[in-house]
Every structure is written in structure tokens, then in C-alpha cells.
Structure 1
Amino acid sequence: MTQTSGHLHGLGGGVPPTVADVDRIAADGDPVVRNLRITHCYHELSRALAGTTGGWANWCTFAVWASKQVGQTIRQEDLVRVLDRLLRSSPEAAAAVDLVAGGLRRAVPKHAVEGVERLVRQAVVTTARLDAAGAAAARGNLKVFEEIAREFARFLAEFADAPAYDEERITRFVDGLRPGEPPEGQRYLRQAFTHYHRARFTADAKERAELLLLANVEVGLHEQTRLQPEIAAALEAPVIDPRDLERRLFDLLLPGNRVVKWLRLALLTVLGRRTPVRVAAERLADHARALARRAVTRHLMTLALPGGELLDLAEDLRATFPPLLAELVDPDLLALLRTVDPTPDSLLDTAARDWADLPDRMHYIADMFRCHAQRADLLDPPFTPEQVAALTAGRLPTGQL
């Protein structure tokens, strides 16, 4: 790998991000900007490693597009729109909205209830804790980056000048990683970087392809095990308290009448009464909570790839294995796939039914890595040069992110 000054973007050219670069990005306190910088850093790491392995995808290649998708959840893009659409399209939720609207028409002045159904849906969205889902996504994005990207940066720096496979040198490198099983142990990362090192120097194209797939799945298994708490937290985040929903409704319907609203709510609390609005809000909250979780799940289970392609992780993969990976022979790869892929050499049942379920996720991810291992456009930059310039300057870029 040729060393030059600055971060270039040619495949395999320029200096890849350093450990210090990764640490600086991880220290960024703005979760939105940090996510964008993380995504771009993954891109630079991906291309640097791909430049030494014949252009095949590595774990960072897929991390680019996963991090970009997570950014939408962090920024809550489309989540509000999706939840509002679900509230309107669900018969149960629509009936519950009508019930709340009817109770409000009896509880507040007539002039305040114009367009009340829209206000009810707005109140649901604002009390659904979608921000908590975004916060969990941001924690996971940072957690994986500051551990795994740091090791990729360390690996690229350590072996930039390696002329050949060096068993002693790679052993010293992986000794810097913790033994043991994830989430705390880094056994799979130790194995993965050994396989990446071997893949760089093998002359056999099929052996290289299988070594890279093995390394990618090993890093993926470590990553997904580490992410389990954050994924579960994001999916469980939407919680709608009927009392909060009722307060929000009165805020929207009686703006400025704070004393009246406070007296009304205080009186209801003292008397322990469950008004028709409260009863209806409780029913709506139950339906809305399920819909909000569905909206978050949809966000987490969609992966946007270059060219506008969307992978719905709840559907079987619609792809084929590249010729070099159509029939696998590496014994270590076959052994690992037996633990994560219940349908060997098939894309049937790859659809993830429960994204909070680790084996369910890994089945899809392992086959996705295999199908798209030689897809050149995955190495394309996720952002425009103008957006990268803004990020480099510490600003939030404009345009579609």
C-alpha cells in the first residue's frame, strides 16, 4: 500500500484512517454528526483493505451501509411518517383514535376539536419515545465502531508494509486482542484478522474468497453479539404512557390554558377517576405501542444499498452466490457456517422474523455477506465530496444523507 499524505479515496491508495482518527471520531459528542463520520471512516477502511485483497468486500464494506441506515434511526428520519401511516392504516388503531376523539369532543370546547383525529395521531407520535430508539441505535453505532474500527485501523497500520504472510507478526498482533467468547472476549476478532492477513497473500482466488467470507462472518458474529443489548433496547424503546398521552392531548387542544389544564388533571388525580378520554387513551396506547415498535423494527430491518436498492431483512435474500463461493471447501468456514446458517448453500428461510433474535440475524447476515462478497458498487462512497468536506470541518452536511 503506497503511503502518501492525506486521506485519498482511490481503491487501495492513500493513508487509511489511523487509530487516532478512530478515537477522535468516537469522541464526537454529537450522535448525528458522529454517525456520519463513522460511516465515512468505515468507507475509507473498507477501500484500504479491499485494495490489498483484489477488491472483494470486507466487514467494513458492509458496515458502511449498515451505519448509514442506522443514521436514519438516529436522526428519526421517516420514523414519524411511518408511525403516522401505521396509525391511519391499522383498523384497530384507527378505531382507538376515533374513540379518543369522541371523548375529547365531550371534554373540551367545540372550537378546540377541529381536526382532532390528526391531533390525536400527533400526540401519539410525540409521546412514543422514538428518541429513545434513536439513542439506543447511536449507542450501538458507537460501541461497535470504537472497538472494531479501531482494530481495523491498527491492522492496516501494522501490515501496510508486509511483503508476505508472517505467522509470527500476525500472532503478535492478535495477542493484543482479548481471548474468550463475545461479548467480552474477542476470539472471533483474533481469528478474523488472521484470516484477513492470509487472504492478502494467497495466490489462489477461491482460497482468498473463502478466507475473506470466513473473516467477515467472524467479525459479524462478534459485532452482533456485542450489539444484542442495544438492538433489544431500540426495539423495546417505544413506550406510550396513557397519562402522558392525555396530557399531551390537552396541551394541543387547550394551548395557553395551563391553569385550567393543571386543575383538570389535578382534580382527576385526586378523585382517582378514569375519564372517557383516559380509558380511550389507554386502549390507543396499547395499539400505538405495537405500531411504534413495528416502525422501529422496519427501520432496523431495512438496508439501503448503492443504486437505490433496498434489502428488506424480513424477506428471503433475492440473490445468488458468486461462482467462487457457490461451493465451499474451507473446513473452518464450513464449521462456522454450521453454527449460524441452518440452510446450507440455500437462501430459503434467510428472512429474519425477529431482529432481536441473534441466531435469526446471523442467518441473514452470513448469507448476505456471501451473496454480495464481490459486489463492486459496495465500495462506492456513501457521501458526496461536498458532504465529506462538511464532515471534515465538523459540520452537518446538507442534502440526502
Structure 2
Amino acid sequence: MTTPVKPLMAAAPASEHAAHFQDGVYRPSLSSPAEAPGPALRVTRSGVMERAARPATRANSGVRFVEASERPSLLDQVHAVIALEGQPVLRNLLITQCYYEISAELVELLGGRNAHWCTFATWASKTAGRFIRNEEVPAVLRQLILSDEDEREAISQRAGLNRGRGQGEPERERAPRISGIDLLTPWWGHGLDLMEIPERILRELSSDIAIGNLKVFEELGPMFVRMIQIYRECPQPGDAQLAALLDGLQPGPSPEGGQGLLRSAAAHYHAAMLTEDKDRKAELILLANARVGLHEQVRLQPYIARALNAPVRCMLDSIGLRGRRLPEALEAIVLDQVEKVQALWRLLATKEMMTMRLPDEILDLGHDLPAPPGLPLHCAELATIEDRELRELLSEYDAHDQTTAGCGAEDWASLRERMSYILELFRSRQSCARLLERPFSSEQHADIVAWRVPMPIYGDL
């Protein structure tokens, strides 16, 4: 899937531009204890995050967890996370941590200089977690319906709701407030339930993003772990390793359920491992990243579209349910708000949803992509593109030249616009060493690998 201006972390020095990824300080394996008692996360009707003192169990995982001394394989860990039910917040944190561990392993296998799809997926999953947890969005949603002061007064007059300020009553502040829902209080008893609309939007938004996060991980997580298993013990991989990796990946186009793009990506990653030419390796990895990215975005399309349409859908459902009795004086007023909610939601999506948070920058996906902090837009290996297949793919989505002008997406529900931005992102950040940093602090990591949601005292997730 922007944000108000916030202080960013220090930019990576230019000397790190061509350096190998290094993570000698921290890269523990994701553990999965049999019991992980600790505070679980829940969202109240007001959108406030609370933690209840109850065990964070893994319902119906179908995985037998062994003693800590017999640490499960990464593949077992991935399957256990996929099987976790009823705890979308915890599952997202575990998915993010798994992507990080897969990324660190594969970067080494690919030669240590280039980020791959799982590297970017780590930060995309972490960004998605903010919406799965309903952070910041609730207060904004409550200002979407009838939030303008002038409109409030006009609606009061049209609906006969003029209420003079009583003697001694302090004048109301003109600061942002709970959107004009109070104007409709007399009609809640008629079954309109407008107060429930923001709650429904939040639930559907969180659910759609959580499901999309899981659907992509359950298809791609095991594939990348199998790649690690196949190639880790083979210093000189050959046709047998590639055939083993392709086994189980179904031919055919992604929109029809096929995995042809993933098969192509696997072949490109394989070729990248075999070449010592830095330019050739970088282009092969970018081509593989692009193929996986396109497959991923095809899979995510229905969930992204649903999330962006959630407010209008919830509004129409709420006022259109059988048995609701909307007073005639308010019928036109409320229906008028559908268009307003849609427009304001697009603003909200641009402000909050269409962002990606990397270690040293917050990217606004609705604007053109800047150069990485302290680095040129493209690394030396990708400044020019020699591979014909890669050049054609980049050209198809207008990501082939030396600038990122025009790559900002106006409508994030458009697959073409998303891919234009994503390909520019992959190309411009492929050699940014900071992308392999751990996504969580040491304290947060300790809770996550114990299958607990970290406490707020450990900072933002």
C-alpha cells in the first residue's frame, strides 16, 4: 500500500552504496515455542489498541513444535505461521520476521550485493502491519462524515437541527472533532447506525490487508525457503537444482492461477547465482524481482481494490439494509455523503495507505520516487540496462529510463500504476545495504519469536 512530515532516520553514507550487505550484529532464527504466554492485542470499538493478559496460542496450526534445543526448520516455521488463526496482528509480525530471515539467507546465496523480492517484502509487510493493527486510521475515519464546519451548519438548517448554544455553554473549538455524527444522534434510534460505519470500514480494511498479506506469504514464503534448502549446500548449482526448485510451480498465467512468472523468476535467480559478472548478476536479480513482484500484485489485486472501496461499500450497505428507516429530511443528506466519503477516503489512502516505510525513509507512493538517501538514483550496475527481456519489461511499465518522473501512482488500485512504481523502487533500491537491517528492535524481536505482540514500551512496530 501518505504520511505527515516526520523526522527520518539518518541517511546511509554513500560509501555503503557498493558495499556487501552486512548483518553481523543480529540475525537470530525465528523460534516457535510450544507455549507463548503473554499479552495479546485487541482493538476496541474506538480503535484503541489494548493488550489483554491472555496466552498467544497458535490455534489449529497442525504443527508439532519440538523442544527449544531442537529448533524447527525455517520451512516448519513458515508453515506454522501460515497455519496461525485468529491473531492477524501477531501473524503479520511473524510474517515480517520470516521475510527478514529468508531475505538474509538468500542475499548471501545471491552474492551479497543485491536485495531480492523478500528484502522488499519485509518492509512492505511491516508497513501493512500498521493498517492491520488499525494504527492512526480510526481518528481520521471519524472525521470523514460531515466534518466540514460550514457543511455542519448547512445540514443543521436543512434538517431542522439548529441548536443554539445555551447560556454559559463554552463555545466549541474549531479544531478537528468527531465529524458531524452528533447532528444525527436523534435518528440513531431509527436503525441508521452511522456510528458503526467507521468501525465497519476499519474491520474490512484490516481484514482485507491481513488476508492479502497472508495469501502472498503462503504462496511465496515456502518457495523461497525451498530455494534456500536446495542451494545452501550446493556451491555449484546446476540443472538438477533448478529442476527441483521448479517442481511444484504450476505453468500458466498468474490471473488464471498459474505460476509461470514464478517459474521465470526462479530461473533468473538461478542464473544470477552462476554468474560472476556484477552487471549481469544485478540485472538478472532485478528481472527475477520484477517477475515475482508482478505475480504478487496480480494476487493482491482483489484485496487492494476491496480496501480502497471499503468506505463507499460500508456506507451503502449501512443505509441500504432492509428494515432501516431513514427520515426523509436526512435521506438526501446522507446519500450525498457517499461521494464525499469516497473522495476523502482517496485522500486518506494517499496520506496513510499508499506509503512504504524503509529503514531510512518513508516513501509516498502517490508521488515520484526520490533517489535513495545519500545515493544516486540507480547503482552503477543498473544505471543502464543491457538485458533485452528486462529492458522490455521495464519499458512496458514506463520504468526504463534514467529518471522516475511520472512513476507516482494516482490510483493505487490500478495494477499498471502500482507496477510502474514498484519496478522503479526495485531498480533504485536494489543495492541499498540498509534494506537488510532487522525490521524490529531486539526487545520487539524477543517477543515476536516467542509468539507475543510486543508491548508499547518497546516502541512503534
**266, 275, 278: which one aligns with 1:193:** 266
Give 2:357's aligned residue. Answer: 304
Alignment of 1:171-182 (within 5 A): 171-182=243-254
Give 1:106's aligned residue. Answer: 161
TM-score normalised over the length of structure 2:
0.71
Alpha-carbon distance between aligned partners in 2 of 1:28 and 1:86, rounded to the nearest angstrom = 34
Alpha-carbon distance between aligned partners in 1 of 2:356 and 2:84, rounded to the nearest angstrom = 25
Alpha-carbon distance between aligned partners in 2 of 1:55 and 1:193, rounded to the nearest angstrom = 18
Alpha-carbon distance between aligned partners in 1 of 2:252 and 2:197, rounded to the nearest angstrom = 42
Alpha-carbon distance between aligned partners in 1 of 2:285 and 2:98, rounded to the nearest angstrom = 20
How far residue 193 of structure 1 moved from its aligned partner, in angstroms, is: 1.5
| Higher relative contact order (CA closer than 8 Å, sequence separation 6+) | 2
TM-score normalised over the length of structure 1:
0.81
Letter in 2 for 1:19: L
- Whose helix proportion is higher, 1 or 2? 1
Give 1:400's aligned residue. Answer: 460
Aligned 8 A contact 2:145 2:181 in 1? no
Aligned 8 A contact 2:242 2:270 in 1? yes
Aligned 8 A contact 1:209 1:324 in 2? yes
Alignment of 1:346-357 (within 5 A): 346-357=403-414
How far residue 172 of structure 1 moved from its aligned partner, in angstroms, is: 2.9
Alpha-carbon distance between aligned partners in 1 of 2:317 and 2:328, rounded to the nearest angstrom = 10
How far residue 389 of structure 1 moved from its aligned partner, in angstroms, is: 1.4
Change (3 A) 1:43 1:105: farther
Alpha-carbon distance between aligned partners in 1 of 2:270 and 2:88, rounded to the nearest angstrom = 33
* Partner SS for 1:238: helix
How far residue 107 of structure 1 moved from its aligned partner, in angstroms, is: 8.2
- 1:309-353 Cα shifts (integer Å, max 9, x gaps): 111111111111111100111122123223333653431211111
**220, 229, 233: which one aligns with 1:148:** 220
Change (3 A) 1:121 1:61: farther
How far residue 171 of structure 1 moved from its aligned partner, in angstroms, is: 2.0
Change (3 A) 1:105 1:118: farther
Q: Give the percent of matched residue pairs that are identical in Structure 1 and Structure 2.
A: 37
Unpaired stretches in structure 1, ≥5 consecutive residues: 1-8, 246-265
How far residue 84 of structure 1 moved from its aligned partner, in angstroms, is: 5.2
Aligned 8 A contact 1:11 1:50 in 2? no
1:73 partnered with 2:127: no
Change (3 A) 1:169 1:62: same
* Partner SS for 1:127: helix
Change (3 A) 1:390 1:114: farther
For these two proteins, the number of residue pairs brought into alignment is 367
**44, 55, 59: which one aligns with 2:117:** 59
Give 1:161's aligned residue. Answer: 233
* Partner SS for 1:241: helix
Give 2:386's aligned residue. Answer: 329
- 1:291-324 Cα shifts (integer Å, max 9, x gaps): 13431343331111113x1111111111111111
- Aligned-residue Cα RMSD (Å) equals 3.3
Change (3 A) 1:108 1:279: farther
